[in-house]
């Protein structure tokens, strides 16, 4: 049973009103947002690692500059999102500690390695493509600071997606060795990209409540279907082959039928057993420890300044 306060809150959501930081909100709404926004922020930060891996090895100066800018954008997205989470009463340090202690997640996709330059294409095209599919609707999410952060993030993500497709074009239409490299990257990233949308609707614990609160705008399966429908013609355009042998156009539903990803692999990656989980967490812990002197210096400077002001 909803309390009158909860009912009034739900009615605001149903009318399409934005909820702002100082408004009353149910505990569960606040917790779910902190979980989702925090997880999203961590994904942006950890998401720098697989691409950061290729900055020093980009094939041309131009590709290097573009990749560097893209990875910097991800850092920026992480920072906006931590700020949005902070409006809910949790600090960035608390969120960081939760990540480092394994109490919060980041997207499963970043636990896969980037083995070749074509992977930079596949990541931009498929991973950022899947991210946009999920984030464009979130521009209309009920929590104001999250919705507004999404507007800028989505603009930058579409640039990222295009740069990834551009790399894929170059590789797919290049030499035979390049074409093979592009196909191999698609083969490895296809199913992990489909997993980004989360478990199938029947196993999605949060979807029903999150959609009622408009924290989520679509179910996981709806977005996965849209992603497949958008991406198949792009695979054809590249002259590559989808690694799913059972994928087929279904005229009745006006979309593709496709194989589900291996959900046991997905849950195993969530438990920390993906190919790169340990590396990613080690890199984040090292960054946190290596940055301690900067944080300490800033705090010491701020304390000295405020002592001077008081004097």
- DSSP label at residue 112: S
Decide if residue 154 touches ligand 3HC (CB under 6 A): no
* Contact string (CB under 6 A) for ligand 3HC, positions 46-65, x = contact: -x------------------
Give min distance, CB of 64 to ligand 3HC, in A: 19
Cα–Cα distances in Å, from 225 out to 191, 194, 237?
13, 9, 19
Measured CA to CA, the distance from residue 171 to residue 218 in angstroms comes to 34
* Contact string (CB under 6 A) for ligand 3HC, positions 120-139, x = contact: -------xx--x--x-----
Matching residue, tokens 């590789």: 171
**Contact indicator for 311, 130 with CB cutoff of 8 Å:** no
Instruction: Provide the 3-class DSSP secondary structure of residue 170.
Output: helix
Hey, which residues between 226 and 255 contact ligand 3HC (CB under 6 A)? none
Among 45, 63, 71, 74, binds ligand 3HC (CB under 6 A): 74
**Contact indicator for 126, 190 with CB cutoff of 8 Å:** yes
Measured CA to CA, the distance from residue 168 to residue 240 in angstroms comes to 10
Shorter beta-carbon distance to ligand 3HC: residue 63 or 274: 274
* Contact string (CB under 6 A) for ligand 3HC, positions 210-229, x = contact: x-----x---x---------
Hey, which residues between 264 and 293 contact ligand 3HC (CB under 6 A)? 270
C-alpha closest to that of 226 among 199, 251, 246, 197 = 197
Residues of this chain that bind ligand 3HC (CB under 6 A): 35-36, 39-40, 43-44, 47, 74, 77, 105, 107-108, 127-128, 131, 134, 157, 195-199, 204-207, 210, 216, 220, 270
């Amino acid at each position: 049973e909803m309390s009158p306060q909860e009912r009034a809150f739900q009615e605001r959501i149903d009318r399409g009103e934005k909820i702002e930081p100082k408004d009353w909100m149910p505990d569960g709404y606040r917790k779910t947002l902190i979980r989702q926004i925090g997880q999203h922020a961590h994904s942006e930060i950890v998401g720098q690692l697989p691409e950061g891996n290729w900055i020093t090895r980009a094939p041309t100066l131009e590709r290097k500059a573009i990749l560097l800018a893209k990875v910097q954008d991800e850092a920026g997205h992480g920072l906006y999102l931590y700020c949005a989470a902070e409006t809910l009463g949790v600090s960035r340090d608390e969120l960081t500690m939760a990540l480092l202690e394994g109490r919060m997640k980041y997207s499963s996709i970043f636990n896969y390695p980037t083995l070749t330059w074509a992977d930079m294409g596949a990541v931009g095209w498929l991973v950022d493509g899947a991210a946009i599919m999920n984030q464009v609707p979130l521009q209309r999410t009920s929590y104001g600071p999250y919705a507004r952060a999404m507007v800028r993030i989505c603009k930058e993500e579409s640039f990222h997606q295009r740069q990834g497709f551009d790399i894929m074009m170059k590789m797919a239409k290049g030499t035979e060795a390049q074409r093979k490299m592009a196909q191999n990257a698609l083969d490895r990233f296809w199913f992990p990209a489909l997993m980004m949308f989360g478990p199938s609707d029947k196993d999605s614990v949060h979807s029903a409540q999150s959609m009622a609160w408009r924290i989520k705008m679509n179910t996981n399966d709806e977005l996965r279907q849209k992603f497949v429908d958008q991406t198949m013609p792009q695979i054809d355009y590249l002259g590559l082959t989808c690694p799913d042998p059972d994928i087929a156009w279904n005229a009745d539903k006006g979309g593709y039928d496709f194989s589900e990803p291996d959900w046991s692999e997905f849950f195993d990656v969530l438990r920390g057993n993906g190919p790169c989980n340990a590396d990613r967490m080690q890199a984040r812990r090292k960054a946190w420890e290596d940055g301690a002197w900067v944080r300490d210096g800033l705090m010491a400077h701020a304390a000295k300044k405020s002592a001077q002001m008081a004097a």
